[in-house]
Amino acid sequence: MALYNDIVMDHFLNPKNVGEIDNPDGTGIYGSPVCGDMMQIQIKVEGETITDAKFKTFGCGSAIASSSMATSMIIGKTIEEALEITNKQIIDELGGLPPVKVHCSVLADKAIKNAIYDYAQKNNKYYKALEGYDPEADEDDEHGEVEE
């Protein structure tokens, strides 16, 4: 059996939204405390809608696929809607990740939230979902059980 399913492989081999945005409205960077990888997500916002998102990722196949999926999921959504996305939803859209790779989707989830947080800070916006949000927090409790 292959390490990843077809959807994950497709997003890894043909990732969508790779790159950087000129004059982004928000930039989020997050490093995975578990394995030491790094992801950057940038967003363009018009009104309350995310009109574009781009990513750059230093990490494994599943981190790249999660970035591709996560950016695809937020484009066209309002900020409020994007904030509701969880790493679980990213995994579901990807058709599942191996347990040891769950934290790579957390990386994508955090990078999105950080990009929106950056946007909110710069524009003095208030979102309930960001109340008490800590962009640096180490969210690795989502980490799957490891079977040897």
Which residues sit at the interface with ligand FES, rule CB under 6 A? 32, 35, 37, 59-60, 62-63, 101, 104
SS (H, E, C) the chain: CCCCCHHHHHHHHCCCCECCCCCCCEEEEEECCCCCCEEEEEEEEECCEEEEEEEEEECCHHHHHHHHHHHHHHCCCEHHHHHHCCHHHHHHHCCCCCHHHHHHHHHHHHHHHHHHHHHHHHCCCCCHHHCCCCCCCCCCCCCCCCCC
7 binds, among ligand FES, another protein, none (CB under 5 to 8 A by kind): none
| Choice among 21, 29, 34, 35 that is catalytic | 35
Closest distance of CB 136 from another protein, Å: 17
| Choice among 64, 104, 108, 115 that is catalytic | 104
Which residue in the set 61, 96, 130, 142 belongs to the binding site for another protein (CB under 8 A)? 61
Which residue in the set 24, 26, 28, 40 belongs to the binding site for another protein (CB under 8 A)? 40
Closest distance of CB 90 from ligand FES, Å: 13
Cα–Cα distance, 127 to 144 (Å, whole number): 30
Which range touches another protein (CB under 8 A), out of 7-15, 45-53, 88-96, 125-133? 7-15
Using the rule CB under 8 A, is 48 a contact of another protein?
no
Of 37 and 118, the one with the shorter C-beta distance to ligand FES is 37
Catalytic-residue membership of 60: no
